[in-house]
Amino acid sequence: MYRGVPGMWSWVAHRITGVLTFFFLFVHVLDTALVRVSPQAYNEVIETYKTPLVNLLEVGLVGAVLFHALNGIRVMLVDFWAKGPRYQKQMLWGIVAVWVVVMVPGVYFMLERTVRDLFGGGQ
């Protein structure tokens, strides 16, 4: 039973982001393998990736991979550093801060072209 303790939510988020990353890699391998089966089908699939919806999904993927990586470092520190368990909560808030600092400009640059294309503004 989850009671809202940050460490528990971190555990849940770590598992979810790991599964999402796995499924992305699975789909990526399949679509890349498609080039050997049918180059035309591969090109059609790649064209669908240039939509605003997929751009938003890419932002989510980057956010998931970044959180999973940062939290993985925190988990290793908790497991292998003698003082890790004592500082696990502070480390969690530290990785959340790093995640936000990296994601805010990252989202801007990743969505800049999509926003421009959707709401005008030329090239």
Alpha carbon distance 20, 9 (integer Å): 16
CATH match for 6-119 among 3.40.50, 2.30.29, 1.10.620, 1.20.1300: 1.20.1300
Q: Give 26-77 as a 3 state SS string.
A: HHHHHHHHHHHHCHHHHHHHHHHCCCHHHHHHHHHHHHHHHHHHHHHHHHHH
pLDDT tens per residue across span 67-103: 999 999 999 999 999 999 999 999 999 999 999 999 9
**pLDDT of res. 7:** 84
Q: Which residues of 66-93 are buried (b: 16+ CB within 10 A; e: fewer)?
A: bbbebbeebbeebeeeeeeeeebeebbe
